[in-house]
Amino acid sequence: MENLQAIKQRFGIIGNDIHLNRALEKAVRVAPTDISVLVTGESGVGKENIPKIIHSLSHRKHAKYIAVNCGAIPEGTIDSELFGHEKGSFTGATQDRKGYFEVADGGTIFLDEVGELPLTTQVRLLRVLENGEFIKVGSSKTLKTDVRIVAATNVNMQAAIEKEKFREDLYYRLSTVEINLPALRDRNEDIHLLFRKFASDFAQKYRMPAIRLEEDAIYALLKYRFPGNIRQLKNLAEQISVIEESRTISALKLKQYLPDNSGNLPAIVGGKKENDFSTERDIMYKILFDMRNDINDLKKLTLDLMKNGNIEEVQEENHHLLEKIYSDQELKEHDIEVLNIPQKTNNTEQEYDFIETIEEDESLSLQDKEIEMIKKSLEKNNNKRKLAAKELGISERTLYRKIKQYDL
């Protein structure tokens, strides 16, 4: 059996990361067997290398190796591609056709993006895994095949199973052994090695000197997260090799080729924080609950005003509360606009069983009090909105909006 270093050289794999080595070791160990393997990892990490290694080190190495991109084949034709069809089984089927499972009999099939398979095809694939049997499209005859299946996916399979987009029994048959390839950002020591290899390859391809990174550029390269993984790094090396005249690249020059992915930072997965709202429904609920609290605050202000009768004293004592209510209201209206949530009009009634019903006459009374307070303040300040807004404890923009809203 070849050692790890020889396998890396044979398949052009660069790097010494412990997780990468562990993945390759697992591939070598399972290769002589016939058990199915599921390769997982983000897009662009090089998952296609694992089935090639497994096939080349297995007893099937002299038989066919077929790689199938399940996500690239239309749903209507994928059964025909995988299992074949009989002449006349559908429009355009002018002759019998062998599918990949028949052609690769005795060899290995690599099903890339297996998570994209339609559910009907998943049932057919499960039958092949269980007893090696399949039926061509448009036929009733059962055929036998002896293939080794290696699948790969960048989809979260557990989440797909929960959403009923992938069969749980098929997942367990495919993942007898699961091999996970690490993301490039988790292989920090390998990033510069890979970049140098790609730069050397493109220098030979385009017949020019290889580009070299300055120390600060190497540091910038290692700090970048590479959401596209090895595929993105290779693309970066090719761009710089072709475009830049200088063969020495500074950090400033390198950063011009690195897209800003600051918004692509790690997210908390599983577990839900108190203020996390994953759906529009949750956000809408929060807005409505906050609105109820604001209405209660307005009730308190109105009662204080009715008892004291002194608008200036009430405003001074509750300045911060007023500012909070108005700013919160602006935020809620913005959220409702962004979410496209229908707002309540005079002709529409919406009932929410999770919130207390507020009597219409009570709401109108609060609105009347607000109008009265705005009118008094404007009269007192000779209709100068800036002074009136300051006295009311709200922004001038908010006051202007209220004037338009109430047609004052």
Tell me: do 236 and 314 sit in the same domain: no
Tell me: do 247 and 309 sit in the same domain: no
* Digit-coded pLDDT (tens) for 299-351: 666 666 666 655 555 555 555 555 555 555 554 454 444 444 444 444 444 44
In sign, the C-alpha dihedral spanning 253, 259, 263, 267 is: negative
Tell me: do 54 and 8 sit in the same domain: yes
State yes or no: pLDDT of 223 exceeds 60.
yes
359 C-beta neighbours (distance < 10 Å), count: 8
Which helix (DSSP H) or strand (DSSP E) does residue 215 occupy?
helix 215-223
Tell me: do 294 and 163 sit in the same domain: no
pLDDT of the residue at 277: 43
Number of domains in the chain: 3
Tell me: do 9 and 79 sit in the same domain: yes
Non-local (6+) Cβ contacts of 273 within 8 A are: none
Domain assignment present for 260: no
pLDDT interval class at 268 (50, 70, 90): very low
Task: Find out whether 218 and 179 touch, Cβ atoms under 8 Å.
Answer: no
Tell me: do 171 and 193 sit in the same domain: no
Mean pLDDT (whole number) for 235-258: 94
Tell me: do 12 and 161 sit in the same domain: yes
* 174-178, 343-347, 373-377, 387-391: segment of lowest average pLDDT: 343-347
Task: Find out whether 51 and 150 touch, Cβ atoms under 8 Å.
Answer: yes
pLDDT of the residue at 380: 84
pLDDT interval class at 112 (50, 70, 90): very high
DSSP assignment of 156-169 equals: -HHHHHHTTSS-HH
pLDDT interval class at 242 (50, 70, 90): very high
Tell me: do 94 and 116 sit in the same domain: yes
Tell me: do 81 and 173 sit in the same domain: yes
- What distances in angstroms separate CA 209 from CA 201, 203, 358, 407, one per listed residue? 10, 6, 76, 73
State yes or no: pLDDT of 105 exceeds 70.
yes
Mean pLDDT (whole number) for 270-275: 44
Question: Between the CA atoms of 349, 354, 358 and 363, what dihedral angle is there, to the nearest 10 degrees?
Answer: -70
Look at residues 206, 180, 179, 182 and name the one whose alpha carbon lies nearest to residue 194.
182
Domain, as residue range, for 319: 280-343+355-406
Rounded to 5 degrees, φ, ψ at 330 are: -60, -45
Would you call 87 exposed, middle or buried from its count of C-beta atoms within 10 A (0-12, 13-18, 19+)?
exposed
Non-local (6+) Cβ contacts of 181 within 8 A are: 19, 20, 23, 39, 40, 41, 45, 46, 47, 50
Domain assignment present for 263: no
CA distance 350 to 347: 10
Q: Which two tokens stand for residue 305?
A: 């005003």
Residue that is written with structure tokens 């960048």 in the block = 154
Of 150, 182, 214, the residue at which a domain comes to its end is: 182
CA distance 139 to 4: 46
Query: What crossing angle do the helices spanning 4-11 and 18-30 adopt, rounded to 10°?
Result: 90
Tell me: do 191 and 177 sit in the same domain: no
Residue that is written with structure tokens 């007023």 in the block = 322
Mean pLDDT (whole number) for 286-307: 65
pLDDT of the residue at 9: 92
CA distance 204 to 215: 24
pLDDT of the residue at 21: 95
pLDDT interval class at 183 (50, 70, 90): very high
* 82-91, 292-301, 391-400: segment of lowest average pLDDT: 292-301
